[in-house]
Amino acid sequence: MLPFPIPHDFTDGFQIAYWRRPEFYLDPVIRQASSTFARLPASVVEPAIARLRADLASVAWHRRHADLLTRESVDYGYRLLIAGRGDSGTP
């Protein structure tokens, strides 16, 4: 098992891929593609998105998360499993 840090510009659009690009979460199409957002009721998501929109507009998000903006990747606990050959020599 190998750590799989998520790069800041990861092109796969799963939820954590936008950790350094929170403005992507404002796009309803991106939220619909996320199982996390899709499972939550609008009564939870919409106020959170409104807060994020306000934080981005006021630059509060950038001040609060300035340490993230300098990082190239973050380890969010994802792990890569690599299947290898067993003792029998068969894949």
The string of pLDDT tens digits covering residues 7-34 is 999 988 888 999 999 999 999 999 988 8
For residue 80, what are the β-bridge partners? 2
Selection from 2, 14, 19, 25 nearest residue 74 by Cα: 19
Domain ranges of the chain: 2-80
Tokens, residue 33: 């593609």
User: What is the average pLDDT across 47-56?
Assistant: 98
Q: What's the pTM value of the predicted model, to 2 decimals?
A: 0.80
Q: Which amino acid is at 75?
A: D
Locate 46 and state its tokens: 């919409």
Give the model's confidence band at 84: pLDDT under 50 very low, under 70 low, under 90 confident, else very high. confident
pLDDT for the residue 74: 96
Distance CA 53, CA 62 (A): 12
More confident residue, 68 or 14: 68
